[in-house]
Structure 1
Amino acid sequence: MTGLFPFRYSFLYLLLNLFLLSSCNKKQQIYADTVVVNATFWTPDVAMDTIEAMAIKGDTILAIGKRKTLNEHINATTTVIDAKGKMVVPGFIDAHVHLLMGGNSLLNVALRDVDNKQEFITKIEDFAKTLDSDEWIVEGNWDHTLWGGELPNKSWIDSVTPNTPVAIYRMDGHMILANSAALKIAGIDTSTLNPAKGEIVKDAEGEPTGILKSEAMYLVLDKIPPLSPEKKIDAILKAQNYFLSQGVTSVHDVDSLGGFSVLQKMYASNQLKVRVYSADPLPQYRTIDPNTLVANKWIKNGLLKGFMDGSLGSHTAAFNNPYSDSPKDKGILMLNNDTIFKWIEEADMAGFKITVHAIGDKANTTLLNAYESVLRKNPEKEPRFRIEHAQHLDPKDIPRFSSLKVIASMQPYHAIDDGRWAEELIGKERAKTTYAFNSLLQANALLAFGSDWPVAPASPLYGIYAATTRRTLDDNNPDGWYPAEKIGVTDALKAYTINAAYSEFSENIKGSLAVGKLADFVILSEDLTKIKPEQIKDVNVMATYVGGKLEYSKD
């Protein structure tokens, strides 16, 4: 018997070790804080019919897949959200907003939809009565095409703002109207000369009309007292509530205007509900220490933004050929090839990310040439250069976006807005490759979509509607303005989600519904893939979740 004991002991020991090993290897059950069920899920990297539920733990997606499988993550403390058959999509990422300008516009006079001179005057008069004596009237975002095309004049508003300085933007941000009080503060009169890259518009007698274009705007804008930190916080709080109501969970702020330090304070005090990728002016690359850059789940900087030209509506976009309605005018090219190449090369080598505004075909060509030269000098890098707007393209430049891996950061709403009048300025031939969404996609370019808010509404749904229908706002193009450039809903959704995340080097943490990514998602009233494109603008954002937390509900 004694000879059997070692065998029996060894056998029992083996069983014990196998039991302990299996216990250690057994997956510890993790229960979700929230599980979303009964929804039509859309995400760019998984087939829709494979997703029936999504489980969330903390601010992260824990699991996604069949309902039966995800039931194991539910216990008594789990909140189960019944989406009632509605559509769930990743949180929208608006790749082009002006955060402080937009937030401040919500605190100032709103002129975006004004369509006649008298309403323009009355709104400014009424708002002036609400201000203290030392306050300016700013923002505005007027659109003179809505009342027939006549540019406003300081004489319209001088009598109702005799002591209140006014400096209000045209909707595109490249032209302002200043009243006499503001012009006096800036020292602008009949003898003031135009800056090199701007224009002080004057009447036949040489008197400034109050319209200032491009760099001339800063003669007045630089005199406006800066917003206090408290006002900046108010503006950002207003802005983020607006974004959340539109299903936007992340934004790319393309001109921080000194707002990033405020964002840092808001982050530290848990006031942020929308994630922000913030840009500084490209010329400042020499003054920013790359070692001081910030990158976390909520705020991130390191993007630099430059300008090649102005805008179409103000005749400051730079074209190779003259404007159709102004034969001697080709717009304003703000940077030549040598300067923009030097800035991009040095900023890129310092570790910054680069994006540059380009509207006209000459501006886009010049910028693409500069990007190509930088890439040729350092072909091993993956800078993900961006062009903001990429609005009017020379057909020969369209394939270059893909070959150079340049991201076209575009704003679809502009297509259905500008489409009302753009042909008068540039003619039919150049209009064919205006907002060339489909041509760029067919050439394998990557599109990232945004709004340009407050120039346009920060509504991804309206942007998707614009990209898929190209129906202009005046209803004169029911089949689409240059319909060959329409794209499908899926491509538009990608541009507002995973592509926008990619353009900020954040595709590993957001932009799709996937395990380990941030639980940023939106519940929509309709399945965008099942309805007619023209119905998309009427779809409602029912709820917006950021990091698994409900931050907006329509109910």
Structure 2
Amino acid sequence: MKRLMLLFSLAIIALASCHPGSHPAETKATVIYKNARIWTGDSSLPEATSMAIRDSIILYVGDNADSLSGEQTEVIDAGGQLIVPGFIDNHTHFLSGGYQLASVNLRNAKSREEFVSILKTYAGSLTDDRWIMGGDWDHEAMGGSLPIKEWVDSVTGTRPLFVSRYDGHMALANSEALKRAGIDKHTKSPAGGEIVRDPKTGEPTGVLKDAAMDLVYAKIPANSAAQLNEMLQRATTHALMNGVTQVHDVGSYGGWTDLETFTRARKNNTLNVRVYSMVPVSSWAKMAAYVKDSGRGDDLLRWGALKGFVDGSLGSTTAWFYQPYLDQPNTRGLLIADTSELSQQILAADSAGLQVAIHAIGDRANDWLLDVFEEAHRRRGNTASRFRIEHAQHLSAAAIGRFAALNVIPSMQPYHAIDDGRWAARRLEDDRLKRTYAFKSLLDAGARLTFGSDWTVGPLTPLEGIYAAVTRQTLDGADPDGWYPEQKITVEQALRCYTVNNAYAGYQENKTGKLKAGMLADFVVLSEDLFNIAPEKIREVKVTRTILNGKLVYENGKPVH
């Protein structure tokens, strides 16, 4: 049966790829979009005005799809609106994003008073004994000083609280959470982490960085399957609303729990967004066995990629640099991983045919990782592995050209540039900052740059990401011409980073990322033409329709079931 279906599909594609003329009834389109401006992502036919779809497959893209119209064909006049391939997000924490949509949100707190007030209101609304989590606070927006447990103890009482900074590399615990985790003035900071202490008393302030956060996470009750399912559905609705039809998920709950949740939804036919799921690189052997037994998934849910960490983040002063931080000259950042162990895991995973995606922020972290990837290529005798560096944020001058030379994918998140750009000069001098989020330099050097959000670190809104990459105007409005404007790129380049290049980064370039006959019908309709409006207006553009697998799943503010 599968063989017959495959032959049928190939026949449709072969017929549809020809110039439209007379077609038998079985190759007629189920839906035709006409009178559109279609940016295809296909270099052989960059633009078109019509597109024909049969079920989940694109039959034809060009300027005359009328001959593919039959009695049952729905014809949609796009009214000149811009159609682009469905956005692919290269880096999400998808389930925790779904959790955050229904939890406390501290992202907009601009002072201690607002921080405490938001938590007081949220804590007062709870009727069970759950932990207070989520948060996404930004101490830079509150004057630069880190919050402390004394801020929140009076409004949380005996309810444990553990709320993360928006970058996920440090979190604030109240006294109850510290007590449950057994953390006091005598507790040593673990390798790859820091327990922040009061300089006078030595007592923990409540802020834990990177690996130290695991001391508290170990005490938090696990989510039930029902709770995880709810998170997934909330996250999916949010994604489709923003035109995101596929996510590369780096995990929220250890990777394997996330994959189990996606797999459960796939089996129950409730997975309504494409997912490429990653698990920790430390579990490479388990994933290699899983792939051997279960394959690599299907077009809706896939696996076979591994995520790891070299260092922390700029905001938490834990990114690994050659030189010290300006505002904390006693540190050059943290190594989250044992480099010898991580190197062996990367080499072993690559030898097993698994894709490796590793977080690196600081210039020293990126150089170290490029060296490991180069060693892997040397051992294999080629550069076929599609290694990824997640974030690739601060690069040495020598690193820029190595990405293309080694076929390493810079997996970047442009919204971070207009966020970090508000305060990064406190941490780093000009020489390091000019190679921060070096979009244009990487593209000019031939790197296959990809874009995403790091949701919930950044918003799951590709249009805001495109705006950030094109304008580089910081969120505070202090850089109207762009923060390090020489790194601005064009609208078309940014679109390609969110579609074509992301498909390649997930081994889906023959299925998604382009609007071309034979490809899966994932696309979005936008309220404005991104190519013909002022770049500053891009973030105001709305997604009017999202189509996944040829089906309308979102329209004008509402999900379509």
Residue of structure 2 equivalent to 1:375: 377
Alignment of 1:392-407 (within 5 A): 392-407=394-409
Matched residues in 1 for 2:154 and 2:337: separation?
A: 39
Matched residues in 2 for 1:72 and 1:231: separation?
A: 48
Residue of structure 2 equivalent to 1:254: 250
Residue of structure 2 equivalent to 1:206: 202
Q: Does 1:36 find its partner at 2:33?
A: yes
Residue of structure 2 equivalent to 1:172: 167
C-alpha spacing 1:211/1:337, structure 2 compared with 1 (3 Å):
closer
Residue type of the alignment partner of 2:176: A
C-alpha spacing 1:307/1:461, structure 2 compared with 1 (3 Å):
same
Q: Does 1:489 find its partner at 2:491?
A: yes
1:244 aligns with one of 233, 240, 243: 240
Q: Does 1:53 find its partner at 2:39?
A: no
- Comparing 45-54 with 522-531, which one deviates more in the overlay? 45-54
Whether the 8 Å contact between 2:40 and 2:47 is mirrored in structure 1 is no
Q: Which runs of 4+ in 1 moved over 2 A?
A: 26-29, 46-50, 129-134, 334-341
Matched residues in 1 for 2:167 and 2:367: separation?
A: 21
Q: Please, what TM-score do these two structures have when normalized by structure 2? A: 0.92
Q: Note the C-alpha offset of 1:334.
A: 2.5
Secondary structure (helix, strand or coil) at the match of 1:126 reads helix
Structure 2, gaps ≥5 residues long: 1-21
Residue of structure 2 equivalent to 1:358: 360
Whether the 8 Å contact between 1:518 and 1:547 is mirrored in structure 2 is yes
Q: Does 1:232 find its partner at 2:228?
A: yes
Residue type of the alignment partner of 1:512: K
Residue of structure 2 equivalent to 1:462: 464
Deviations 1:291-341 (CA, angstroms, capped at 9, x unpaired): 134321110111100100000000000000000111111000223543332
Whether the 8 Å contact between 2:281 and 2:307 is mirrored in structure 1 is yes
Residue type of the alignment partner of 1:161: T
Alignment of 1:389-468 (within 5 A): 389-468=391-470
C-alpha spacing 1:256/1:328, structure 2 compared with 1 (3 Å):
closer
C-alpha spacing 1:383/1:49, structure 2 compared with 1 (3 Å):
closer
Matched residues in 2 for 1:199 and 1:48: separation?
A: 53
Residue identity (%):
48
Q: Note the C-alpha offset of 1:49.
A: 7.2
Matched residues in 2 for 1:78 and 1:133: separation?
A: 52
Q: Which has the larger radius of gyration?
A: 1
Whether the 8 Å contact between 2:37 and 2:47 is mirrored in structure 1 is no
Q: Does 1:218 find its partner at 2:211?
A: no
Residue of structure 2 equivalent to 1:11: none
1:538 aligns with one of 511, 518, 540: 540
Q: Please, what TM-score do these two structures have when normalized by structure 1? A: 0.93
Q: Note the C-alpha offset of 1:286.
A: 2.3
Residue of structure 1 equivalent to 2:138: 143
Residue of structure 2 equivalent to 1:114: 109
Whether the 8 Å contact between 2:123 and 2:156 is mirrored in structure 1 is yes
Secondary structure (helix, strand or coil) at the match of 2:105 reads coil
Secondary structure (helix, strand or coil) at the match of 1:516 reads coil
Residue type of the alignment partner of 1:477: D
Matched residues in 2 for 1:135 and 1:431: separation?
A: 42
Whether the 8 Å contact between 1:164 and 1:181 is mirrored in structure 2 is yes
Residue of structure 2 equivalent to 1:286: 285
Whether the 8 Å contact between 1:133 and 1:164 is mirrored in structure 2 is no
C-alpha spacing 1:237/1:82, structure 2 compared with 1 (3 Å):
same
Secondary structure (helix, strand or coil) at the match of 1:286 reads helix
Whether the 8 Å contact between 2:173 and 2:206 is mirrored in structure 1 is yes
Whether the 8 Å contact between 1:337 and 1:369 is mirrored in structure 2 is no
C-alpha spacing 1:536/1:213, structure 2 compared with 1 (3 Å):
same
2:351 aligns with one of 340, 349, 352: 349
Secondary structure (helix, strand or coil) at the match of 2:410 reads strand
Whether the 8 Å contact between 2:33 and 2:52 is mirrored in structure 1 is yes
Whether the 8 Å contact between 1:321 and 1:330 is mirrored in structure 2 is yes
Deviations 1:136-174 (CA, angstroms, capped at 9, x unpaired): 011111011111111111101101111110111000000
| Count of aligned pairs | 528
Matched residues in 2 for 1:53 and 1:346: separation?
A: 47
Matched residues in 1 for 2:295 and 2:413: separation?
A: 27
Residue of structure 2 equivalent to 1:550: 552
Structure 1, gaps ≥5 residues long: 1-25
Matched residues in 1 for 2:276 and 2:153: separation?
A: 39
Matched residues in 1 for 2:151 and 2:83: separation?
A: 48
Q: RMSD over aligned Cα, in angstroms?
A: 1.4
Whether the 8 Å contact between 1:336 and 1:366 is mirrored in structure 2 is no
